[in-house]
């Protein structure tokens, strides 16, 4: 089974303040103080694209999981909803269908996600497989997500393209943009794997299963480049994938001298297909001697895996040593 790509983290935050005063008897006025987490009224709108995803359920939730709003994508894959938020949020889509560019078949989507800091007014958030990759290794912070999305854009040859606000165009004569070309290559890659020995391989396995660093290598780079050139004839992009690991900074989760090896086993079920998983991570930057299931920094670093739809029976084993091919996550 092929597994996917990684990278990552440290970036944005929104800080706003509201001054509040109160009057007392005799005209005294208390000093104004800023609100710690002022509410914002945000309209979040955009598209869901891996092909155009119609009929998907879009949900905006707080980082703790409180649902702030939900809607459904249109036949054109667009959505819009208004929320009131007191901090960063996760924008997620589940379900819906799209036309696969490689096979011409209608495919059911499992899920895609992004993390943003909402602001007053309207924000554009397009959900794609690349935003989903960034979510995996965001550490459940907008800072981690921002650095992830920037690194992913670089590795997929998209330079300074903002992968959240730029609309990928995946079909149409003469209008497919580079972002859309990369998403088309995902479909071609999956179809090639299906045709060469793994007929049940799907997008969720490619995107949602976190492989070890050794799978994110020159062989994958060659195979993905071949898929890209096959489905986008006459186009060329340079890919620079690497599997050395990620750094999550700015979240307050790390900075210690401890290291922990984490093995995750179990299975993930998506679109009625159950796939066994066996992932190894090496997490550094935790407090010395804190390599246990109760470590909040470890839980934050592994949040992407814990948030996978269908991952209901994952087992986590923690140890002081790291596996030889473990994927490195450094917490700062």
- Token pair, residue 144, equals 């981690």
Residue 46 has what pLDDT?
97
- Of 260, 267, 234, 253, the residue nearest 318 (C-alpha): 260
pLDDT tens-digit map of 65-96: 999 999 999 999 999 999 999 999 999 999 99
Q: What is the mean pLDDT of the chain?
A: 77
DSSP-derived secondary structure for 214-253: GGSSHHHHHHHHHHHHHHSTT---------S-EEE-SSSS
Q: Rounded to the nearest 5°, which phi and psi values hold at 220?
A: -60, -40
Answer yes or no: is pLDDT of 194 > 80.
yes
**Residue 256 — very low, low, confident or very high, per pLDDT cuts 50/70/90?**
confident
Tens digits of residue pLDDT in 42-62: 999 999 999 999 999 999 999
- 198 falls in which pLDDT band (50, 70, 90)? confident
Query: How far is the C-alpha of 216 from the C-alpha of 200, rounded, in Å?
Result: 21
Closest CA to 148 of 128, 131, 125: 131
Question: What pLDDT score does 33 carry?
Answer: 43
Q: What is the pTM of this model?
A: 0.71
pLDDT for position 98: 96
Domain boundaries, the chain: 35-231, 246-331
**pLDDT tens readout for residues 313-325:** 778 888 989 987 6
């Amino acid at each position: 089974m092929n597994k996917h790509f990684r990278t990552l983290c440290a970036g944005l935050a929104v800080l706003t303040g509201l001054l509040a005063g109160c009057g007392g008897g005799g005209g005294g006025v208390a000093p104004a103080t800023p609100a710690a987490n002022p509410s914002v009224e945000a309209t979040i709108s955009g598209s869901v694209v891996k092909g155009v995803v119609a009929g998907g359920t879009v949900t905006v939730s707080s980082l703790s999981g409180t649902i702030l709003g939900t809607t459904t994508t249109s036949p054109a894959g667009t959505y819009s909803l208004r929320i009131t938020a007191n901090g960063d949020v996760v924008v997620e889509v589940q379900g819906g269908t799209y036309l696969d560019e490689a096979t011409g078949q209608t495919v059911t989507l499992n899920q895609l996600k992004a993390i943003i800091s909402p602001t007053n007014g309207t924000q554009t958030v397009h959900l794609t497989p690349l935003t989903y990759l960034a979510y995996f290794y965001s550490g459940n912070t907008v800072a981690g997500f921002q650095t992830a999305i920037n690194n992913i854009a670089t590795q997929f040859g998209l330079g300074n393209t903002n992968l959240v606000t730029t609309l990928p165009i995946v079909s149409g004569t003469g209008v497919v943009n580079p972002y859309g070309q990369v998403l088309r290559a995902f479909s071609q890659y999956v179809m090639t794997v299906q045709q060469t020995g793994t007929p049940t391989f799907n997008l969720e396995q490619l995107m949602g299963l976190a492989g070890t660093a050794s799978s994110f290598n020159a062989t994958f780079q060659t195979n993905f480049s071949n898929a890209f050139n096959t489905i986008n004839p006459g186009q060329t992009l340079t890919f620079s994938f690497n599997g050395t690991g990620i750094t999550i900074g700015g979240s307050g989760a790390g900075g210690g001298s401890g290291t922990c090896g984490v093995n995750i086993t179990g299975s993930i079920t998506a679109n009625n297909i159950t796939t066994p998983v066996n992932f190894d991570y090496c997490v550094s930057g935790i407090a010395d001697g804190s390599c246990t299931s109760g470590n909040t920094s470890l839980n934050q670093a592994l949040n992407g895996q814990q948030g996978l739809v269908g991952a209901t029976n994952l087992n986590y084993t923690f140890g002081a040593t790291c596996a030889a091919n473990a994927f490195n996550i450094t917490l700062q």
